[in-house]
Amino acid sequence: MKHVVDELSALLDGALAPEARVAVESHLAACPACRAEQGRLAGALSALARLPAAPGPSPFFAARLAARLAGEPHAGLLGRLAAWRWRLAIPAGGLAAAALAGVLVIRQQRGLELAAAAQLDLLQEYETIASVDDVETAEDAALIAQLDTLDRGGGR
């Protein structure tokens, strides 16, 4: 059985269509839980109706509001920039992030190039030795690389 709690406020306000009103009232006749909820809502509405009316605005409210609005800065370049600051901040942040990514990629590429340049010296020395036919096997090449490492490390 579907309860009609959502329709109770509209029923009490007289805002239900006639066929919906009949359906809700027939449900209320058979459902004590929904009848209890209707009683709580009716009590709350009657308590609200007994409250005094809200006071109106002071006599000088309109004049103070007009004066305050007239004093607001609307013109000038700074006023327009202040209104657009959040619309400009998002693209500027994206541009800064793209620039940072570019710098990081360039730094990483530079590191790879420096590592390749260090190996280039060894390659040139290997080509010099290989041209004399002293390097015949992979073991000879490994020995030359080891000697080059010792030579660069200060003979440790």
Residues 96-106 have pLDDT tens digits of 999 999 999 99
What are 9-47's pLDDT values in tens digits?
999 999 999 999 999 999 999 999 999 999 999 999 999
pLDDT band per the 50, 70, 90 thresholds, residue 148: confident
Q: What is the mean pLDDT of residues 59-66?
A: 86
What pLDDT is attached to residue 113? Answer: 85
Q: What's the average model confidence in pLDDT over 71-81?
A: 64
Give the Cα separation of 144 and 137 in Å (integer).
11
Tokens 């009949």 correspond to 22
CA distance 26 to 31: 9
What are the tens digits of pLDDT across the range 109-125? 988 888 887 777 666 66
Count of residues making up the chain: 156
